[in-house]
Amino acid sequence: MSTQYECLKSPDLYAEAFGISPPDALLGKEVWPRQPSFFIRKALVAAEQAQGCAPEPQAEDPADAALTPAPTSSLVLELAQGQFGLVPTWVKSASDAKLRSTKLAVTRYETMSTATATRETWLKAQRCIIPMQAFLEDDWRSGKAVPTRIARVDGKPMGVAGLWECWTQGAEEIISFTLLTVNANSHALMNRYGQNGNEKRMPAILNEGAYGAWLGAPIDKAREFMRAYPAHLLLANPVQRK
């Protein structure tokens, strides 16, 4: 599937859609691998302060109460900034990290717990939510790629399931994330996209009421959130290039 998506179009949407404090400034509208973007993660504050290697948590917003209750009262949500494209902790150098990250922007959920690149991250329960306004896919039905924008019918932001990681070597640090995908071969909308003959995939879009539950779920329950988002709630439009 495509590795390009759009960030939220307004800072206020972070509070409205996800119940967290908005960023001080927006980044670029469109995100590709190795570019910076925002993600939402759970933070056990005391543990993060002890470990370092994590963004400073932003002030908790009262809207957090609207999210699905987490299994424990210690769940805190924070907005973090990282590179789109996961960098595993075992990568030897920053140059190697750049090469690997482009290939790890997207991860199949079926292999997230077994693949060398993501197994450790999965076992550490470093799950995240990637806020996006839309994502782009290529429509090959005409024989050539037609970029197509996929968004929610109601225009609201989407929260896509992902994994985050922090790579360090000396004074160098790279915080990164990957978005998870699910099979879409039988999906009424997404089975149109991607090259013919290849498996159809789509982002693991979470239901609005499941954001807190996805971040706080025990590891043996987390896979239950990996489902295809209903086709009737999504809208596809070809991208008009100027």
Tokens representing residue 183 in the block: 């099979």
Joined together, the tokens standing for residue 139 give: 């429509």
* Mean pLDDT score of the chain: 86
pTM: 0.86
Query: Is the pLDDT score of 34 beyond 80?
Result: yes
Contact between 34 and 98 (Cβ < 8 Å): yes
Determine the pLDDT at residue 182: 97
Q: Give the per-residue pLDDT at 50.
A: 39
Instruction: Specify the 3-state DSSP secondary structure of 26.
Output: coil
Percent of the chain scoring above 70 in pLDDT = 86
CB 130 within 8 Å of CB 176: no
**pLDDT at position 236:** 96
pLDDT tens profile 155-169: 999 999 999 999 998
Most confident of 27-36, 88-97, 174-183, 191-200: 174-183
Is residue 145 pLDDT above 90, yes or no?
no
Q: Which residue has the tokens 């910076």?
A: 36
- What are the backbone angles phi and psi of residue 107, rounded to the nearest 5°? -130, 130
User: Are 101 and 69 in contact, with CB atoms under 8 Å apart?
Assistant: no
Confidence band, pLDDT 50/70/90 cuts, at residue 188: very high
pLDDT tens for 40-97 read 998 756 344 434 454 444 434 433 333 343 343 457 899 999 999 999 999 999 888 8
Q: pLDDT band for 228, please (50, 70, 90 cuts).
A: very high
- Which range has the worst mean pLDDT, 41-50, 115-124, 140-149? 41-50
Q: Mean pLDDT, to the nearest integer, of 194-205?
A: 90
Mean pLDDT of 6-26: 92
pLDDT at residue 106, rounded to an integer: 96
- 207 pLDDT more than 70: yes
Structural domains in the chain plus CATH codes? 5-238 (3.90.1680.10)
Structure tokens at 220: 């043996």
